[in-house]
Structure 1
Amino acid sequence: MFKFNKYTKFFLGIAIIGIVIFFVLDAVHFQLDQFSELRFSFSQKYIYWLIISLFFIMTSLVISAVGWVWIVNILNNDYVSYPLGIKVFFYSQLGRYIPGKIWTFIGRFILCKNNNISKSVITESIIYEIGMSFFAASIISGFILILNNTLHYTAQWLCYGIITICIFSVLSLKFFPNLLNWFSLKTGKKTIKTEISYKILLFYFFLNILLWFFMGYGIYFLARSVIFIPFNISVVFPGFFCIAWLGGFLSFLTPSGIGVREGILVYFLSQFISPSNAIIVSVFSRILLTLAEFLCLFIALGISGLMPVIKKRWLSKIKT
């Protein structure tokens, strides 16, 4: 097994950071180029809808981060503080902007290496995170497509694909750990011991349902800041975003699903608003999501940095 000295680790770290910064800036530049090509009038009286949209999207991201840390603490023998875990989560999210879908998870392995979290725990937590995200997104998407009668008939075939993804997600809760254990045995590594009960998984499922609804309504309020959309139509937005997320996640070659997710959103939003407005909302949603991720990262860094100071002052007051 290779062992790197501190200088090699330092330069590898610098290289990884440089790659992440390059792809993040490239993605932001691409999004701004798309946005600059759009022509629309933005009324200042709707600015509060934009603020509400950002709040809902950030809340969805925080729920996702808290849920992952919660699962890690259930699997891990040593307690991982939520400020630390959330910081690791949002740091690793920067890997989404690098082409390929593994960099986010590789980032978690690297960041958790020195925090008493084993690789098997991180691996299993990622399996549950992906499986439950797919399961929740598939359920929401399926219900929206089945219950919504205003969609074009040509979109109904997507229900079959969504049902397939849903079944795959349910099976993955046991299939992936078993497959990973088989692979671990073949490679001489430790097997994963799954100790999560279905009660915990059910709670985690509803947590994912909640975060998808927050994200979907964040997109609705974003659209509301551009054009008037009746609130009774807002219920379809979580389903539309879930379908777009599934398509973007399955596109392994595009960083963070750029282009794929927007195209799917434009298709479904065009059922209710004009295609030009659908493009505006779709592109702007990507920019707002990127902004929300960075704001959450900065807030997590701030809280993580302040916690030791607060704890030190609190202990000093107790001693006195």
Structure 2
Amino acid sequence: MSESAVDAVVEEKPARTRKQVVIAWARRLLVVLVLAGAVYQLTGQWDEVSAALLSLPWQSVALSMVAVFAGLFLGSVVWKIVLSDLGAPVTYADAAKFYLVGGLGKYIPGAVWAVLLSMELAKQAGVNRARSFTAGLVATGMGVVASLITGLAALPVLLGGGESRQLLWLFSLLLIGLVFLHPKLLTWLVNLVLRVLRKQPLERRFTGKEVLKATGVAVAIYVLYGVHLWLLVNALGSPSIGTLVLSAGTMGISMTAGLVAFFLPSGIGARELVITGAIATVLPTPQAVALALVSRLMFTVADLISAGVAALVAQLQRKRAAKAA
């Protein structure tokens, strides 16, 4: 056998098993379904929001979009902190891929798809499924706590009565979440999940500093989402600090309401009801409805673009690392 033939045999990749082939095709199918769901929402809302978009100053829309992007990319920071505390340190690019690309799974009804997609992406980067699953649970829990902390700013509106008052029960989740954010209890809870999954427990417990850092970043995310909504409200004539506070609280509660309505793709409907009810206290109801739909459209566009950027950056970094090796 010639030297080149020997090299070819050595370099030949081992044949993939049937299970690996099925998983690879299932992953591709999931990505297609996710993108189809996101595009469906995007096109399905266009007729309702196009008129509202055209009535808004482009500067307000542009700045509002920047706030959404900033919030989305900060979400990757939360994942990076949590994974590091779980003993699975990753680069920001990888964390962004897990969070932003995996997060597109929310556009398919049922919370399981986002979890599965994030786990598969994390597995490709060398993070085992148990660690990525528990990281997703912890990051989601921190997100709920942060959103409800921000949502406290909208309590006066909720207490004012109407249908929005029915959402007051969500704040019971805040009390539970704050208790379980204590490093000892959080470590115990994660180890319990790992035990159920028949995986090794954490090598060390969560640290208070990292928990506070991740939760603080999560609060900043919802403040940015509040700025996003306030810029739209401001463009239609309600430019006050009180409206900014209301917008931040509204986005916090609306995001939690959308998460609770996991059976809906990306919580569609639940989020818009909260935004409409709150903003209708400072703007006419038709304008509040229009802004809720515009906000949804902007988040969908930002989700798709940020996921594409995160996937591209992660791929380029992986190729650069392979060349360096």
Contact 2:98 2:119 survives alignment (8 Å):
no
Judging changes above 3 Å, is the alpha-carbon distance between structure 1 residues 194 and 139 closer, same or farther for their aligned structure 2 residues? farther
Query: Which one is further off, 47-56 or 201-210?
Result: 201-210
Q: Give the one of 101, 105, 117 matched to 2:111.
A: 101
Q: Calculate the TM-score normalised by the size of structure 2.
A: 0.83
Match of 2:122 in 1: 112
1:104: Cα distance to partner? 1.2
1:76: Cα distance to partner? 2.5
Judging changes above 3 Å, is the alpha-carbon distance between structure 1 residues 296 and 243 closer, same or farther for their aligned structure 2 residues? same
* Structural mapping, 1:47-62, within 5 Å: 47-62=58-73
Q: Give the one of 21, 24, 35 matched to 1:7.
A: 21
Match of 1:245 in 2: 255
1:56: Cα distance to partner? 0.5
Q: Give the one of 210, 228, 231 matched to 2:240.
A: 231
Match of 2:177 in 1: 169
Deviation per CA, 1:239-278, whole angstroms, max 9, x where unpaired?
A: 0111111111101210000111111111111001000000
1:303: Cα distance to partner? 2.9
1:71 aligns with 2:82: yes
Judging changes above 3 Å, is the alpha-carbon distance between structure 1 residues 202 and 263 closer, same or farther for their aligned structure 2 residues? same
Q: Give the one of 193, 199, 207 matched to 2:217.
A: 207
Match of 1:318 in 2: none
Q: Calculate the TM-score normalised by the size of structure 1.
A: 0.84
Query: Which one is further off, 49-58 or 121-130?
Result: 121-130
1:23 aligns with 2:33: no
Contact 2:65 2:298 survives alignment (8 Å):
yes
Judging changes above 3 Å, is the alpha-carbon distance between structure 1 residues 193 and 119 closer, same or farther for their aligned structure 2 residues? farther
1:81: Cα distance to partner? 1.6
* Structural mapping, 1:258-269, within 5 Å: 258-269=268-279
1:42 aligns with 2:54: yes
1:6: Cα distance to partner? 4.0
Q: Distance in 2 between matches of 1:67 and 1:96?
A: 18
The AA in structure 2 aligned to 1:11 is W
1:4: Cα distance to partner? 3.8
- How many residues in Structure 1 have an aligned counterpart in Structure 2? 306
Deviation per CA, 1:62-83, whole angstroms, max 9, x where unpaired?
A: 1111221222123225x42211
The alignment-based identity, stated in percent, is 19
Over the aligned positions, Cα root-mean-square deviation in angstroms equals 3.0
Q: Distance in 2 between matches of 1:189 and 1:307?
A: 30
Contact 2:191 2:202 survives alignment (8 Å):
yes
Contact 2:76 2:96 survives alignment (8 Å):
yes
Helix, strand or coil at the partner of 2:45: helix
1:151: Cα distance to partner? 7.1
1:33: Cα distance to partner? 4.4
1:299: Cα distance to partner? 2.4
Match of 1:128 in 2: 138
1:157: Cα distance to partner? 4.5
1:282: Cα distance to partner? 0.2
1:19: Cα distance to partner? 2.1
* Structural mapping, 1:165-204, within 5 Å: 165-173=173-181, 178=188, 181-182=191-192, 184-185=194-195, 188-192=198-202, 195-204=205-214
Judging changes above 3 Å, is the alpha-carbon distance between structure 1 residues 155 and 175 closer, same or farther for their aligned structure 2 residues? farther
Q: Distance in 2 between matches of 1:294 and 1:88?
A: 14
Ranges in structure 1 where 5+ consecutive residues have no aligned partner: 316-320
Helix, strand or coil at the partner of 2:63: helix
